Chains A and B, each alone.
Chain A
Amino acid sequence: MVAVRYDTVFKLYPYEKVPDQDKPARRHPVVIVGGGPIGLAIALDLGQRGTPALVLDDHDGAGTGSKAICFAKRTLDISHRLGVGQAMVDKGVVWNVGKVFHDENRLFEFNLLPEDGHRNPAFINLQQPYFEKFIYEGIEAAQANGAPIEVRGMNAVTALESHDDHVVVSVDTPDGPYTLEADWLIACDGARSPIREMMGLDFEGRVFEDNFLIADVRMTADFPTERWFWFEPPFKGSGQSALLHKQPDDVWRIDFQLGWEIDREKELDPANIRARVDAMLSSQSGEVPEYELVWTSIYTFQCRRMKNFRHGRVFFAGDSAHQVSPFGARGANSGMQDAENLAWKLNFVLNGHAPEGLLDSYDDERGFGADENILNSSRATDFMTPKSDMSKVFRNAVLELASKHSFARPFVNSGRLSVPCVYDGFPLFGVDALDGPTVTRPGASCTDATVDQGFLLDHLKGNFTLLAIGTEAPPQFTFDGVAIDVVHVPSPSPELSTRYLGDAAQAVYLIRPDQHIVARWADFDAEEVECAINLSLGKA
């Protein structure tokens, strides 16, 4: 039997019996354990590249509760490449105005004016179940086009046996257990990762002793689409901080940081939650708008990571590999970067286009990403919950100054929004032979810009790509069996110039399948480009 641990809001992949269940263990190239956002994204990316992906999940869809709400631009750009970004942006809420309060005082207000020349906004607010649903719809569309993706609901992985060249997986289903084999296995089974447990692997880091009460409320009252954040909110018993954020469907996310010593049962009593929410919602207008409680929960969080994200034939991606505090919205956002990093590498290795060693760079690069995220979210946590008397003195000094002087505002830290990792100095990245802007240096992911009537990222479709701006480059070619797309922009838009040329008159960029820049030059030189491709595939 498969235990039900949570309810699903969207039944995406109901249980169906498959022939595998009555046969001796069949071998699959890639098995993904966990159909959360990360497992589904990897499956979609692999499947679109033609690599068969089998997802096993012990439920049948997206769980209730909105969990993640904030999805950053890089995540939307990745989703766009996978063909599911537009649905997210259409459904999501875009906000620009934020207000920061300390106690009774409104300290300052900010407006995140969007930058020109990007398809996607800096981020959107969207309930996680929708995010998962849109990726799953992408999977269905890909399947209809023949992509070899299979998702099996109510398939719980119960045991794992690692071998040098494959993994044996035991699965339980409503019709009883069966076994299968995988050349490669990706554990996307979440923060409590049963796979990690089964393999007896470490998960080290800091546990922050704090409880957060989340309430998603639905209100149709006219309420501004702004992000409100309080340090030491004045409403009675609401703890160290509070947050109000808009989501689609007239739902608002409210977060109260309650502290460590709390009575969970009492705090979850709807009457108590309502008392707090009333106080918050009426704090600016003096009136309590009408609202309904949609979802409430208390959670604690941790900042931890596994030492290695690859163990032989098993990879860990998303929350199973690393966990951060929710400030800065780095959980799912960083997991999506894991997904895009691993998918193309595995596809290249399976196709024989790259040596197996390429796969170690996944651990190298994404381990760095995890460290960066943990650092950022730990800093936010330390600002929000000062750990000593003096750190509180400084924190409050920052808040006081911030109400009067703009210089202090950058110190105010209620979470730094996830931005993509730049793999500076990592071994698979090549030369920077252009006197170009730093945003597009080797290691960085491509930032968007207008190209003709569309956007640059629309042209980066998941192959290695040469981008030639204001200079000559050969038409699309193949190198050692690897297809290289060529994007030729004779006369760049102002944004493309600013972001990709700077002071240079022309440029040639080599871009990886995950849209990270490998190397750049002023001119096209076949030998240099070939060297950089080899380097990037771990062949050099």
Chain B
Amino acid sequence: MPLNLTPNIADADGFYDELLAAHQDLTKDDSDAFNARLILTLANHIGDREILRAAINAAK
């Protein structure tokens, strides 16, 4: 399965809200740390190295 770069999240606005809410009241350092933990958690869920590589490239 290739990296999905088309809309895939139901209720995109709702998710976006949740993401920002998680950063609410965090200092810049804590936000950076949170982002890193989130990326690692998601990356592990995806697992597939090809997809992860494609995602790293897509985000560049």
The answer to whether A and B assemble together is yes
Judged by a CB distance under 8 angstroms, whether A411 is at the interface is yes
A-facing mask of B21-39, CB < 8 A → 1, else 0? 0000000000011001100
B32 adjacent to A401 (CB under 8 Å): no
Judged by a CB distance under 8 angstroms, whether A141 is at the interface is no
Shortest beta-carbon distance, A107 to chain B, in Å?
Answer: 14
Judged by a CB distance under 8 angstroms, whether A477 is at the interface is no
Q: What total of chain B residues lie within 8 Å of the partner, measured CB to CB?
A: 7
B36 adjacent to A394 (CB under 8 Å): yes
Chain B: which residue is nearest A407 at the CB level? Answer: B44
Complex: A393 Cα to B40 Cα, angstroms: 12
Judged by a CB distance under 8 angstroms, whether A396 is at the interface is yes
Partner of A408, one of B32, B33, B40: B40
B44 adjacent to A397 (CB under 8 Å): no
**B contact residues around A393 at 8 Å (CB):** 32-33, 36
Task: Identify whether the interface residues of A are mostly helix, strand, loop, or mixed.
Answer: helix
B-facing mask of A401-431, CB < 8 A → 1, else 0? 1000101100100000000000000000000
- Residues 379 to 398 of chain A near chain B (Cβ within 8 Å): 390, 393-394, 396-398
Complex: A118 Cα to B60 Cα, angstroms: 47
Complex: A411 Cα to B37 Cα, angstroms: 12
Complex: A390 Cα to B40 Cα, angstroms: 13
A401 adjacent to B33 (CB under 8 Å): no
Judged by a CB distance under 8 angstroms, whether A400 is at the interface is yes
Complex: A408 Cα to B38 Cα, angstroms: 12
A398 adjacent to B40 (CB under 8 Å): yes
**A contact residues around B40 at 8 Å (CB):** 394, 397-398, 401, 408, 411
- Residues 13 to 60 of chain B near chain A (Cβ within 8 Å): 32-33, 36-37, 40-41, 44
**A contact residues around B44 at 8 Å (CB):** 407-408
Q: What total of chain A residues lie within 8 Å of the partner, measured CB to CB?
A: 12
B41 adjacent to A400 (CB under 8 Å): no
Complex: A400 Cα to B30 Cα, angstroms: 12
Shortest beta-carbon distance, B30 to chain A, in Å?
Answer: 10
**B contact residues around A398 at 8 Å (CB):** 40
Complex: A401 Cα to B32 Cα, angstroms: 14
Chain A: which residue is nearest B41 at the CB level? Answer: A401
**A contact residues around B33 at 8 Å (CB):** 393, 396-397, 400
Chain B: which residue is nearest A400 at the CB level? Answer: B37
Interface centre among B32, B40, B41, B44 (most CB of A within 10 A): B40
Complex: A393 Cα to B33 Cα, angstroms: 6
Shortest beta-carbon distance, B35 to chain A, in Å?
Answer: 8
Complex: A394 Cα to B32 Cα, angstroms: 9
Complex: A405 Cα to B37 Cα, angstroms: 11
**B contact residues around A390 at 8 Å (CB):** 32
Interface centre among A394, A396, A398, A405 (most CB of B within 10 A): A394
**B contact residues around A394 at 8 Å (CB):** 36, 40
Shortest beta-carbon distance, A112 to chain B, in Å?
Answer: 22
Complex: A163 Cα to B33 Cα, angstroms: 60
B-facing mask of A164-193, CB < 8 A → 1, else 0? 000000000000000000000000000000
Complex: A121 Cα to B40 Cα, angstroms: 33
Complex: A401 Cα to B40 Cα, angstroms: 9
Shortest beta-carbon distance, A108 to chain B, in Å?
Answer: 15
Complex: A539 Cα to B3 Cα, angstroms: 47
Shortest beta-carbon distance, A396 to chain B, in Å?
Answer: 6
**B contact residues around A396 at 8 Å (CB):** 33, 36
Complex: A281 Cα to B40 Cα, angstroms: 33
Complex: A394 Cα to B36 Cα, angstroms: 6
Shortest beta-carbon distance, B51 to chain A, in Å?
Answer: 16
**B contact residues around A405 at 8 Å (CB):** 41
Complex: A394 Cα to B41 Cα, angstroms: 12
Chain A: which residue is nearest B36 at the CB level? Answer: A397
Chain B: which residue is nearest A405 at the CB level? Answer: B41
Interface centre among A397, A401, A411 (most CB of B within 10 A): A397
Complex: A401 Cα to B41 Cα, angstroms: 8
Complex: A407 Cα to B36 Cα, angstroms: 14
**B contact residues around A401 at 8 Å (CB):** 37, 40-41
**A contact residues around B36 at 8 Å (CB):** 393-394, 396-397
**B contact residues around A411 at 8 Å (CB):** 40
**A contact residues around B32 at 8 Å (CB):** 390, 393
Shortest beta-carbon distance, A422 to chain B, in Å?
Answer: 19
Shortest beta-carbon distance, A27 to chain B, in Å?
Answer: 55
Binding site for B on A (CB under 8 A): 390, 393-394, 396-398, 400-401, 405, 407-408, 411
Q: A394-B40, A397-B33, A397-B40 given. 11 additional CB < 8 A pairs?
A: A390-B32, A393-B33, A393-B36, A394-B36, A397-B37, A400-B33, A400-B37, A401-B40, A401-B41, A408-B40, A408-B44
Sample 24 A-B pairs with CB under 8 A, ordered by A number: A390-B32, A393-B32, A393-B33, A393-B36, A394-B36, A394-B40, A396-B33, A396-B36, A397-B33, A397-B36, A397-B37, A397-B40, A398-B40, A400-B33, A400-B37, A401-B37, A401-B40, A401-B41, A405-B41, A407-B41, A407-B44, A408-B40, A408-B44, A411-B40
Q: Which 4 A-B pairs have the closest CB atoms?
A: A397-B36, A407-B44, A397-B37, A394-B36
